[in-house]
Amino acid sequence: MQKRKLGACGPTVSTLGLGCMGMSHGYGPAAPETESMNLIALAYELGVTFFDTAECYGPYTNETLVGKALKPIRDKVVIATKCGIQIENGVQKLDARPDIIRRSVEGSLKRLQTDRIDLYYLHRIDPKVPVEEVALVMRDLIAEGKILTWGLSEAGPKTIARAQAVTPLAALQSEYSMMWREPEKTVFPLLEAEGIGFVPFSPLGKGFLTGKIDTATTFAADDFRRSVPRFEPENLEANLALVRFIETLAATKSKTPAQIALAWVLAQKDWIVPIPGTRRIDRLRENLGAVTVEFAPDELAELNTRLAAIPVQGDRYKGEYAKRVAE
């Protein structure tokens, strides 16, 4: 698989990464450890060198899984993890105080069985802690060799600029897909100007753009999509128009909807590295097939125009979670 460099100061990684969250968090009961470890190992064999996790996934169990799976090939891969979301009595709480970040990085290093974290994100912006304070502790952790680079997640241009002025960022991680294109307007210009990479999570719209979800789909009680407004029946039905459009395009290229959706993300900028997640080997192989899909410049321009004309109904987050997206 070809490689891409995440920004001016970030690591060089495989064109597609692997989001590991869903193996043990957010999508129902955790997958059997052996199955997840085999999938991670296969991903590496197929060319993936970029693996994403976080301390709050599980919590903690996802980092443990990723660390165990990648230990034999640690020096050949790039590991990204995150801090800033603490779990108290089963409830998520934002906490980006420098002492908490230091405690978190030590825990992550232990669980990941490594002496350094290649890319360390602040998972969400804590409104109680100036991002400049976070940038300073990240600078210290880089100097100490505990992390190699750092990034933000779900931050807006004002916050990014403030952080970048203190300690250069390697990457921003945020949602981005054919279903959610807001980053093109809000952060792409700044990221390009400052040489900051972009790592989209949910590049398949939390599975929706694969064409495998419809009005008959039911989610398990502990599947977080039950709380996502876009998956409410009325919104889901309306958004199937986008899926049908992708399916039609996929048929013309003899590809799957998932491959088209991922290839579209990759085609936008050469400093974008999506991290689709999966628990299934067949889906992993399918996703990686997206790197073979190409769009001619005029074809991509027309595609973007047509996508802009398809409305997407329903918010990304509900309630408290919607407030965590910083300016």
**pTM of the prediction?**
0.97
The CA distance from 242 to 109, in Å, is: 41
Beta-carbon contacts of residue 181 (< 8 Å; ≥ 6 apart): 307, 308
Please answer whether residues 135 and 161 qualify as being in contact, where contact means their C-beta atoms are separated by less than 8 angstroms.
no
DSSP type of residue 300: H
Beta-carbon contacts of residue 313 (< 8 Å; ≥ 6 apart): 230, 234, 235, 238, 239
What is the DSSP track for 200-245?
EE-TTTTTGGGT---TT----TTBGGGG-GGGSHHHHHHHHHHHHH
pLDDT tens for each residue of 220-229? 989 999 999 9
pLDDT tens for each residue of 72-112? 999 999 999 999 999 998 899 999 999 999 999 999 999 99
Averaged pLDDT of the chain:
96
CA–CA distances in Å: residue 16 to residues 53, 148, 278? 15, 20, 13
Comparing CA positions, the residue from 52, 74, 60, 212 lying closest to residue 119 is 52
pLDDT tens for each residue of 146-168? 999 999 999 999 999 999 999 99
* 2 φ, ψ (degrees, to nearest 5): -70, 165
Q: Which domains does the chain have, with CATH numbers?
A: 3-205+268-293 (3.20.20.100)
Give the residue carrying structure tokens 């405690």. Answer: 103
Q: Give 3-state DSSP helix, strand, coil % of the chain, rounded to 5.
A: 45, 15, 35
Please answer whether residues 237 and 45 qualify as being in contact, where contact means their C-beta atoms are separated by less than 8 angstroms.
no
Give catalytic residue positions: 57
User: Using alpha carbons only, what angle is made at residue 31 by residues 2 and 246, rounded to the nearest 5 degrees?
Assistant: 50
pLDDT tens for each residue of 165-198? 999 999 999 999 999 999 999 999 999 999 999 9
Residues, the chain = 327
Beta-carbon contacts of residue 96 (< 8 Å; ≥ 6 apart): 83, 84, 122, 125, 126, 128, 129, 133, 134
